Chain A
Amino acid sequence: MTYRYLEDIATADAAFEARGKDLEEVFIAAADATTNVMVEDLDSILRQEALHIEVENRELDLLLYSFLSEIVFIKDAKRLLLRFDGVEIEERDGLYYLRAKAYGSPIDPGRQPLKADVKAITLHRLSLIETRDGWRATAVIDI
């Protein structure tokens, strides 16, 4: 597993640290960490629908924020939980652009044990740092 939940931050909420050897990996790990707050078993998310997600931001860590917030939006607006096949990030004219290829299945409490509903990704202690072996992201999730 490329993420772990942090216990000593924001008592009532959930916080995670995700790692990846490159940006693509750390974004996918952070997405899984967010979705795993809501569903017990990520493997219960089936390949029933395909989606493309595009977000942009002027800061790289805020790009992560926008990306994770989009996953939370889709959870309510389309009732879908998502996994990711690939994420591409590029910088152009001072802006970061993300394009992600996702698949997912409708939320189904009868088939998949659910956990807490994610309200939002917070900006409290949000970070995305390049380390010696790749990238590390931390975020606090309001539940």
Chain B
Amino acid sequence: MRNVFNEGFLGERCHPIVSEDLAEKIIAAALLRGQGQDRLVMWLLIPRPFLIMSVLFCLSLFAGMGFDMGFNSAEALYVSEGDMLLSFDEDAL
């Protein structure tokens, strides 16, 4: 059996050679994306339950205090006199 630990034999192993432009590609990609850009995108994308719950809590607090939150438009609130009359139960009248 040949001696596989003869350095000459182990040293025969081929070495992978990197593409010449890989380093430049990486440098260009870093320049394009800017430092920390990924972190900002991640920060925006990660769902934040506490933040969402806090916003909802504030909205419900304001609504409870009777503030007009602007969700109901004037048009939606408007009911004509005729509609009100028609909506009454005849028996009650």
A and B associate in one complex: no
Interface positions of B (Cβ within 8 A of A)? none
